[in-house]
Structure 1
């Protein structure tokens, strides 16, 4: 009648919960979560590096890179985003290159550098919402466009 705990079933429920949450969030919240994910992944990588946990370091850096490339960089509207989108794209590319280098060299200073670069952008993004500025409706390209306050 009832079966024992199944990690597979638990993962399915967790995945459904995440997918449902993503559909109910606005674009601003999604980008905030991506920034949070990058920063926490780098923090985990730094901790793993300090402990000598090479697989953990690699996994965390890989996660941060994927968030930058597949989440934040692909969300940029390079057509209507203008100079802001161009500059953020260049920043994300630079951070990806530095994370790869940090991974190869086991260099905590580079990890700190990337955190110092991403943190003010993440804080600025969060301030947009707090100060009442909004994002424009999502155009047909599916990418949010920042509106100036």
Structure 2
């Protein structure tokens, strides 16, 4: 089993990540995806991709952030594995790499938000040592 973890930066690499992101974010549109990623990159967004047998199967979009109450953290915006590749430990490998990266960057913690109903994801996060320690609230502006 050949696995490669890499930072997706070229247009081709980023577009190769689209199917995995689409699993998590079904409203994403292929035609707008690259421009959206490039805008987010200007705000520090980066993509870590896991390739298995020549195809990108799992991705994480993340950024470094600093908070008064939390210090410097690596915040995972998006973590997704294609449906047909789940159960192979790919997301766990991405989390392990991000954990190491965060430590190297001097971060105090890894943070992420997860939907209430994503129980399989919650199991993985808890196995990796994450703790439920806050609620993320949002107010949709009309």
TM-score (norm 1): 0.30
Is the helix fraction higher in 1 or 2? 1
TM-score, length of structure 2 as denominator length: 0.31
Which structure's CA Rg is the greater one?
Answer: 1
